């Protein structure tokens, strides 16, 4: 899948493997994640591009204090930074593996750097919907936009969508609940259903750490699925519990592709029944003799059996021959046809 915004297949689904900060500042780990996500069969590998000095201050609080080496959230963002040359290498690696490279910018400076790298679409996180300058720059590039809705009200989402439409932007939005992990009762498939009906393209950004919300979303018509990925449940980082391992990611993607094939190929029940009619003689039952019967025997239930294959009178029509005489000798388990019935 090259670009979800260009496909004419309304059932095609873009699967995004979200690395976020799971690389923990290690460039080697970041590259390893690209291979894991490619091997699982995803369409997109997504990072987050943080430039601490451009997006944060020392006053930013921890969402969850997890780091053993960073005194402040600012220190953590700083440790997560890669150089522009390193980001270029990650993008090239992703494209070599057949993936779309995507990274969420958290400042205008980060967005400008990603634009210089030639990133083909944008992902705006739910927290960054509050940054008008970031949106203005992204709109100026004319590239498709995906935005998450986890921290926005319905009114804010509608206002944001209208701004994108006014700029003639191609866009998609993702239902998202900003919990890590999110409980089943907070996934919000009912909200996704509304978005599918109301907006051009809608999908799910899931933080449950399970494959089931995404599978359910695709059956409903979601066109984009985004999930966090970790290499192991023992990985270090704040999102591990909300992530899928590569094995689970692959299982989810197999399910999504299977569902897409089903939706792409609606079944005509009558046509299928006609195609399968050759098997009906194998699976259906017909009337046969329960024991040896001599000509002239009056047929009753005790004298008959209903067995496979359908080489005789159909089992459903057995009552029509009860009380009638058989006109020839029939051996046990021999099938009875209408020509064997006297007067028929």
**Sequence-ordered list of residues with C-beta below 8 angstroms from that of 152, at least 6 positions apart, any chain:** 126, 129, 160
Closest CA to 81 of 58, 110, 116: 110
* Predicted local confidence at residue 1, as pLDDT: 40
Q: How many Å separate Cα 305 from the centre of its chain?
A: 49
Torsion 100-103-109-111 (CA) sign: positive
Contact between 237 and 21 under an 8 Å Cβ cutoff? The reply is yes
Q: What does the alpha-carbon distance between residue 289 and residue 313 come to, in Å, rounded to a whole number?
A: 11
Query: For the domain bounded by 14-264, which CATH number is listed?
Result: 3.20.20.70
* Predicted local confidence at residue 7, as pLDDT: 58
Q: Hey, where are the domains in the chain?
A: 14-264, 273-340
Spans of the chain below 50 pLDDT: 1-4
Q: Pairing relation of β-strands 286-289 and 304-307?
A: antiparallel
Fold of 273-340: Type Iii Antifreeze Protein Isoform Hplc 12 (3.90.1210)
* Predicted local confidence at residue 276, as pLDDT: 60
């Amino acid at each position: 899948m090259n670009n979800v915004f260009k496909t004419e297949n309304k059932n095609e689904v873009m699967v995004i493997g979200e690395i976020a900060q799971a690389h923990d500042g290690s460039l080697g780990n970041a590259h390893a994640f690209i291979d894991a996500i490619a091997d699982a069969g995803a369409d997109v590998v997504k990072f987050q591009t943080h430039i601490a000095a451009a997006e944060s201050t020392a006053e930013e609080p921890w969402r969850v204090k997890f780091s053993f080496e960073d005194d402040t959230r600012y220190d953590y963002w700083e440790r997560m930074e890669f150089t522009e040359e390193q980001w270029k290498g990650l993008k090239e690696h992703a494209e070599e593996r057949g993936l779309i490279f995507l990274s969420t910018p958290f400042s205008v400076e980060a967005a400008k750097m990603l634009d210089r790298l030639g990133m083909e679409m944008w992902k705006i996180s739910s927290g960054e919907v509050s940054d008008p300058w970031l949106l203005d720059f992204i709109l100026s590039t004319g590239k498709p936009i995906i935005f998450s809705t986890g921290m926005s009200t319905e009114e804010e989402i509608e206002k944001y969508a209208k701004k994108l439409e006014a700029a003639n932007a191609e866009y998609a939005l993702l239902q998202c609940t900003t919990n890590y992990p999110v409980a089943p009762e907070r996934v919000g498939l009912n909200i996704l259903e509304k978005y599918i009906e109301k907006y051009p393209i809608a999908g799910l950004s899931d933080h449950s750490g399970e494959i089931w919300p995404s599978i359910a979303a695709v059956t409903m018509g979601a066109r984009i699925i985004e999930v966090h990925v970790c290499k192991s449940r023992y990985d270090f980082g704040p999102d591990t519990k909300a992530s899928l391992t590569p094995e689970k990611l692959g299982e989810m993607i197999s399910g999504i592709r299977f569902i897409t094939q089903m939706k792409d190929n609606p079944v005509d029940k009558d046509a299928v029944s006609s195609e399968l009619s050759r098997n009906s003689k194998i699976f259906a039952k017909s009337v046969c003799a329960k024991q040896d019967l001599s000509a002239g025997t009056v047929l009753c239930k005790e004298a008959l059996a209903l067995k496979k294959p359908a080489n005789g009178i159909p089992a459903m029509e057995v009552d029509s021959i009860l009380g009638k005489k058989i006109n020839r000798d029939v051996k046990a388990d021999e099938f009875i046809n209408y020509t064997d019935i006297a007067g028929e």
